[in-house]
A and B are shown apart, each in its own frame.
Chain A
């Protein structure tokens, strides 16, 4: 491939990505490539202007379509009435808890990070293992890195934590591991997670110091003592 041919191929490749660049839906790597190309290519910048015009008018076309009447909702409701009644299962309760836990941490990381996805699988395995352990034997051992679900609160010392939105699952796992802590439940009101930091009751002063220490972690927005239930 000659230099000129290669340049044309690169231009066309980047140009094909412009619609997604304008919509803000490119992955970070491609977004960086497009940004770099745009900085020193006036022809490409001119094409981006056209793309933005198309985007704006496509939004206008769609917005002008209005909304469906209440008939669609009523019909759906009637159709669901005819469906067999379902009872919640253990598996779906677990899935719900897990998805709530992960979604509350960092949706972007989950959506875009292949690494986070792999970690999510590890967490899920740990989560289920933790559940099985809790169900089948006394709580003599817990996987420190895995968020555990307990049917009771499990006693010991517990605190409430709200993580910052940018906290990743890896960050949270690391924090829990550092303190041998276990996720008990959440997210509750205000995005708070209940975390067990000790399987035995801690002295108040020691617990207060720990809460202060955890609260200073950059991924933590708020850390509070948890009331007994």
Chain B
């Protein structure tokens, strides 16, 4: 029987490095992807996940189980990612954001891809603002409930719902700008 995350955390609190490896193996890819979508730099994301799991190692004894371990991990990861973003200059961020959403002249391949609604939608998802990207990922990819997103992001549950609504609305507007009309918004 596979140990649950809570059991692994209890073992980590006892200094069990094998439990740490198991928890890392179970969650590091998702945590990495969450962080990478925020910081948009692979090397930074790799450094940050080491720091996230080091925090887990240090704080496991204080974990009270009021949230799922994966939710706790995401909250730590988000804090680390936003701190790293704050350390970077505005200039760097502007360049990265521009690179992410820049619409270059269409090559024949790109023009073809644009006919694929899915490809355009993925492109728009990648071009969302940090706040909107984060909430879309947490809800759709990381399968977090309203309550869990509220815990991770540190906002009220009602705000979680409205932020997700506006993120989706923004997606619809971006699609419309790309010539795809979905009938909403």
Using a CB–CB cutoff of 8 Å, the interface residues on chain A facing chain B are: 15-17, 19-20, 22-27, 46-47, 50-51, 53-62, 65, 67-69, 71-73, 75-76, 79-80, 83, 85-89, 92-93, 95-96, 99-100, 103-104, 107, 111, 187, 189-191
Is B99's beta carbon under 8 Å from chain A?
no
Per DSSP, are chain A's interface residues mostly helix, strand or loop, or mixed?
helix
Check A76 against B145 for contact (C-beta < 8 Å). no
How many positions in chain B have a CB within 8 Å of any CB in the partner chain?
A: 59
Check A19 against B28 for contact (C-beta < 8 Å). no
Contacts of B37 in A (CB 8 A): 62, 65
Is B131's beta carbon under 8 Å from chain A?
no
Check A60 against B122 for contact (C-beta < 8 Å). yes
- Complex Cα gap A73–B29 (Å): 11
Contacts of B182 in A (CB 8 A): 50
Check B1 against A76 for contact (C-beta < 8 Å). no
Using a CB–CB cutoff of 8 Å, the interface residues on chain B facing chain A are: 1, 3-4, 6-7, 10-11, 13-15, 17, 20, 24, 28-29, 32-33, 36-37, 42, 45-47, 49-51, 53-54, 57-58, 61, 65, 68, 117-118, 121-122, 125-126, 136-137, 139-141, 143-146, 148, 161-162, 164-165, 168, 171-172, 182-184
Check A51 against B168 for contact (C-beta < 8 Å). yes
Check A58 against B162 for contact (C-beta < 8 Å). no
Contacts of A57 in B (CB 8 A): 118, 121-122, 125
Check B14 against A19 for contact (C-beta < 8 Å). no
- Complex Cα gap A31–B1 (Å): 31
Given contacts A92-B10, A99-B4, contact A54 B68 (CB under 8 A): no
Q: Closest CB of chain B to A159's CB: distance in Å?
A: 19
Contact of A93 among B14, B46, B148 (CB under 8 A): B14
Contacts of A67 in B (CB 8 A): 28-29, 32
Which residue of chain A has the shortest Cβ distance to B11 in the bound complex? A96
Check A16 against B15 for contact (C-beta < 8 Å). no
Q: Closest CB of chain A to B161's CB: distance in Å?
A: 4
Contacts of A26 in B (CB 8 A): 145-146
Check B32 against A68 for contact (C-beta < 8 Å). yes
Contacts of B143 in A (CB 8 A): 23-25
- Complex Cα gap A86–B161 (Å): 42
Contacts of A86 in B (CB 8 A): 13-15
- Complex Cα gap A157–B170 (Å): 66
14 A-B residue pairs with Cβ-Cβ distance under 8 Å, sorted by A, are A20-B146, A25-B143, A25-B145, A58-B137, A58-B140, A61-B141, A62-B137, A65-B37, A75-B46, A76-B53, A83-B58, A85-B15, A96-B10, A100-B3
